[in-house]
């Protein structure tokens, strides 16, 4: 299963127990607060500016189900496995090197919580495709 296997495999729907929290909402609010906390720095933030916010880089094309009402990703599929988005932790945009067609980046990124893990999804506005940019530490 590799690293973070416990997080990736965590799914209360199939009966995994929550050691610390009684219910999913309580779990999420703690994670969100931690992510927002100004006093906590992530290792990924120490990367180069263009990689800011991206932990373990992936850059894989994935399929994403879009919630038209909330205008956020609702679910995504990665390695033949479906991930329902439980919460949107963060939204950011990247627009760089517009003057150089070979290097240009134009993403809209969502940091989502799904199956207990944090995933960075990006919509590439130039290629019109979804990508899994990284799995957060």
Quick one: 2 or 38, whose CB is closer to other proteins? 38
Instruction: Return the residue of 62, 94, 113, 122 that touches other proteins, per CB under 8 A.
Output: 94
Number of residues that bind other proteins (CB under 8 A): 22
| 99 is a contact residue toward other proteins (CB under 8 A) | yes
Instruction: Return the residue of 31, 35, 65, 72 that touches other proteins, per CB under 8 A.
Output: 35
| 137 is a contact residue toward other proteins (CB under 8 A) | no
**CB 14, min distance to other proteins, A:** 31
Quick one: 84 or 96, whose CB is closer to other proteins? 96
Q: At which residue do the structure tokens 């916010």 appear?
A: 53
* Cα dihedral across residues 5, 17, 91, 29: positive or negative: negative
Between the two ends of the chain, the Cα-to-Cα distance in Å is 16
| 104 is a contact residue toward other proteins (CB under 8 A) | no
**CB 113, min distance to other proteins, A:** 14
């Amino acid at each position: 299963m590799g690293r973070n296997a416990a997080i990736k495999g965590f799914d209360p729907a199939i009966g995994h127990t929550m050691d610390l929290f009684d219910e999913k909402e309580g779990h999420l609010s703690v994670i969100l607060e931690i992510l927002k906390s100004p006093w906590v720095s992530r290792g990924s933030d120490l990367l180069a500016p263009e990689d800011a916010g991206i932990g373990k880089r992936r850059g894989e094309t994935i399929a994403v189900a879009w919630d038209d009402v909330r205008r956020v990703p609702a679910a995504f599929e990665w390695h033949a496995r479906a991930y329902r988005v439980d919460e949107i932790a963060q939204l950011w945009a990247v627009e760089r090197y517009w003057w150089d067609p070979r290097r240009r980046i134009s993403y809209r990124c969502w940091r989502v919580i799904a199956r207990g893990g944090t995933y960075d999804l990006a919509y590439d506005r130039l290629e019109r495709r979804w990508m899994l940019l990284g799995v957060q530490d």
